[in-house]
Chains A and B, each alone.
Chain A
Amino acid sequence: MNAIEVRGLRKTYGDQVVLDGIDLEVATGSVVALLGPNGAGKTTMVHVLTTLISFDAGEVRVAGHDVRREPDAVRRAIGLTGQISAVDGQFTGEENLRLMADLHHLGRAAGRARVTELIERFDLVDVAGKPAMTYSGGLRRRLDLAMTLVGRPRIIFLDEPTTGLDPRSRRVMWDIVRELVADGVTVFLTTQYLEEADHLASRIALLDAGRLVADGTPTELKRRVPGGRIRLEFDDAAALDRAAQVLGARSLDESALALELPSDGGVDALRSLLDRLDAASIDVDGLSVRPADLDDVFLSLTGRQDGVEVPTR
């Protein structure tokens, strides 16, 4: 059974279409990253899947239950750690966790045991007795996730779990997510960091302006941009301009006097490129070839790079 099944999901705010016909299936026990820039609709997607908001069209099933007809059954199976911190700053970490234990009806003894276990597992022992409002961003996020886990949800939603965290806290978060997956939990996370998606997810869905533009394993996605990119560096701006003209390249880095071209990775293509520069007697100062990464996938699929169009070959 799939943990998440989405068919034809549409969500609008007024005349603004936020999700425009999303189809997505997430296998039980897998980690899926929903990757996309700010405003792509990632949070809206998470909110629909976690029964927080309604939607206009489509069918959404989570943990085998229709989110519209059986929201409570869905809620029993899921946990959400959203972008806005969902801890109560006025209470201590331990009190926050105990509140969750009570709301999950764990009972006094079992509740206490679970809270203690999570405090230890998330390395919160030293701060458990302090009000959560005094916590650093990383601590807060850890408490937030610990609260989500009190009821042992089978499907966990993490909305940009590492945004705003320092590199060390990010590593800690990644380790925690990997442990969850090892326990057999299904994880649905959103991120704007390609590196994070590459690191954690067994599958990546690329969301852009409310549409899924790609969906596959990191390797599959990288294969869609074969060969990677060739980077050429020049001595001066004049040479850069002429080269750009000759090669029809629009991806210029004027401050570094460099341009980038997509490449199929073949030697022939590289040779013909150099021949064309030779014929135009343009001197190349430096050349590097790098394999495709998710950045390239993202750029070639969305056709954008900070508002600059990426050359089509």
Chain B
Amino acid sequence: MTTAILSDSSTMLRRSLRRMRRYPSLTFFVAALPVILLLLFVYVFGGTLGAGLGVSGSSTGATSGAQGRDLYLAYVIPGVLLMTVVGTGQGTAISVAMDMTAGIIARFRTMSISRAAVLAGHVLGSLVQAVAAMAIVVVVALVIGFRPTTGPVEWLGAIGLLALVAVAISWLSVAMGMSTGSVETASNVPMILTLFLFLSSAFVPAASMPGVLGWFAEHQPFTPIAETLRGLLFGTDIGSSGPVAVAWCLAITAAGFVWARRLYERDPRPRPVA
């Protein structure tokens, strides 16, 4: 039984990967968007945003544009990497919705294959895509001056946390893709995640936001995740963010898994047949 789950999952993963290879444009955009955002945030907004971070490196108190850019590049890296994961999730939701609205899913459902395998194939495929896209983003970031100041152990920690986040977002995206009845809706639902990301400390410190927004930013999952990544890459104070970030990831994974499984077991909606 267990071997069946593994072999079915790997069959479904191969299907996801083959689709990515055959239709690389989706993967391309998944990586291209965060790279563009990275460049935009660093070169267009970076000078001003960096100066506003309040961690000025110069003794005069004033920060030049170039210094601001460097400061902001370091600050925004976790945010851009998380944006990459969220973007991958969007692609995952779309391909899940494509599967669900096509007849192929009825075939899978009437075959004796592990129920989880069909979904796991999407999650694993999404994970591979997220890792590949993040690697591209990191390379671009290194080229424009990103220099993590910590050691390999911390870097491994950062990679591990990002993988955990990718798994969580993938399961959530699979469930979101299944919950929508159409590919069009599925492509929009993960936008909510993007909004969450902007309302966290990923792009600007939560403390700089007014009242309710600030409180929201402090207590939502992306803030501890971003703070932990920042600490792992630059040695800033992580505080209690680490365990909180991991807990959020596990909770989101569990919720996404249960939600997706439920939707998969549910009767498909009666659909008008042409």
Do the two chains bind? Answer: yes
Report which A residues bind B (CB closer than 8 A): 13, 43-44, 50-54, 72-73, 75-76, 78-80, 82-91, 95, 99, 102-105, 144, 147-148, 151
Given contacts A82-B103, A84-B103, contact A52 B273 (CB under 8 A): no
Q: Does B268 contact A (CB under 8 A)?
A: yes
Q: Is the CB of B106 within 8 A of A52?
A: yes
Q: Is the CB of A84 within 8 A of B106?
A: yes
Q: List chain B residues, Cβ under 8 A from A99.
A: 11, 15
| A13 CA / B112 CA spacing, docked (Å) | 26
| A293 CA / B245 CA spacing, docked (Å) | 72
Q: Is the CB of A54 within 8 A of B267?
A: yes
**Residues 73-118 (chain B) with a chain A CB within 8 angstroms:** 102-104, 106-113
Q: List chain A residues, Cβ under 8 A from B11.
A: 99, 102-103
Q: Is the CB of A75 within 8 A of B111?
A: yes
Q: List chain B residues, Cβ under 8 A from A144.
A: 103
Instruction: List 11 A-B residue pairs with CB atoms under 8 Å apart, sorted by A's residue number.
Output: A13-B270, A52-B106, A82-B103, A82-B107, A84-B103, A86-B107, A88-B15, A89-B102, A90-B22, A91-B22, A103-B113
Q: Does B251 contact A (CB under 8 A)?
A: no
| A83 CA / B4 CA spacing, docked (Å) | 29
Q: Is the CB of A90 within 8 A of B23?
A: yes
Q: Is the CB of A75 within 8 A of B112?
A: yes
Given contacts A99-B15, A105-B7, contact A80 B268 (CB under 8 A): no
User: Which of A75, A76, A103 has the most chain B CB atoms inside 10 A of its CB?
Assistant: A103
Q: Is the CB of A84 within 8 A of B102?
A: yes
Q: List chain A residues, Cβ under 8 A from B110.
A: 50-52, 75, 78-80
| A51 CA / B112 CA spacing, docked (Å) | 11
**Residues 1-23 (chain B) with a chain A CB within 8 angstroms:** 4, 7-8, 11, 14-15, 18-19, 22-23
Return the contact of B268 from the options A52, A73, A85, A87 (Cβ within 8 A): A52
In the complex, besides A51-B109, A52-B268, A53-B268, 18 extra interface pairs with C-beta distance below 8 angstroms are: A52-B109, A53-B267, A78-B110, A79-B110, A82-B103, A82-B106, A82-B107, A84-B106, A85-B102, A86-B103, A90-B23, A91-B15, A99-B11, A102-B7, A103-B8, A103-B108, A103-B111, A147-B107
Q: Is the CB of A80 within 8 A of B106?
A: yes
Q: Is the CB of A87 within 8 A of B18?
A: no
| A79 CA / B108 CA spacing, docked (Å) | 10
| A13 CA / B267 CA spacing, docked (Å) | 11
Q: Is the CB of A83 within 8 A of B107?
A: no
A interface footprint on B14-55 (CB within 8 Å = 1, 0 otherwise): 110011001100000000000000000000000000000000
Q: List chain B residues, Cβ under 8 A from A52.
A: 106, 109-110, 267-268
Return the contact of B107 from the options A54, A76, A80, A95 (Cβ within 8 A): A80
Q: Is the CB of A90 within 8 A of B19?
A: yes
Q: Is the CB of A86 within 8 A of B106?
A: yes
Q: List chain A residues, Cβ under 8 A from B103.
A: 82, 84-87, 144
Q: List chain A residues, Cβ under 8 A from B14.
A: 102
Q: List chain B residues, Cβ under 8 A from A44.
A: 270
CB-based closest 6 A-B pairs: A84-B103, A86-B103, A86-B107, A75-B112, A102-B11, A53-B267
Q: Is the CB of B104 within 8 A of A87?
A: yes
Q: List chain A residues, Cβ under 8 A from B19.
A: 90-91
Q: List chain B residues, Cβ under 8 A from A148.
A: 107
Given contacts A54-B267, A99-B11, A105-B7, contact A72 B104 (CB under 8 A): no
Q: List chain B residues, Cβ under 8 A from A80.
A: 106-107, 110
| A147 CA / B15 CA spacing, docked (Å) | 16
Residue of A whose beta carbon sits closest to that of B8: A103
User: Which of B4, B23, B273 has the most chain A CB atoms inside 10 A of its CB?
Assistant: B273
Q: Is the CB of A86 within 8 A of B18?
A: no
| A47 CA / B88 CA spacing, docked (Å) | 34
| A53 CA / B19 CA spacing, docked (Å) | 29
Return the contact of B271 from the options A51, A84, A86, A151 (Cβ within 8 A): A84
| A155 CA / B7 CA spacing, docked (Å) | 25
| A87 CA / B14 CA spacing, docked (Å) | 17
| A53 CA / B4 CA spacing, docked (Å) | 24
Q: List chain A residues, Cβ under 8 A from B273.
A: 43, 83-84
Q: Is the CB of B18 within 8 A of A88?
A: no
Residue of B whose beta carbon sits closest to that of A147: B107
Q: List chain B residues, Cβ under 8 A from A72.
A: 112
A interface footprint on B249-273 (CB within 8 Å = 1, 0 otherwise): 0000000000000000001101101
| A53 CA / B266 CA spacing, docked (Å) | 8
Residue of B whose beta carbon sits closest to that of A163: B273
| A148 CA / B108 CA spacing, docked (Å) | 11
Q: List chain B residues, Cβ under 8 A from A95.
A: 18
| A153 CA / B110 CA spacing, docked (Å) | 11
Closest CB of chain A to B12's CB: distance in Å?
A: 8
Q: List chain B residues, Cβ under 8 A from A13.
A: 270
Closest CB of chain A to B120's CB: distance in Å?
A: 13
Residue of A whose beta carbon sits closest to that of B113: A103
Q: List chain A residues, Cβ under 8 A from B111.
A: 75, 103-104, 151
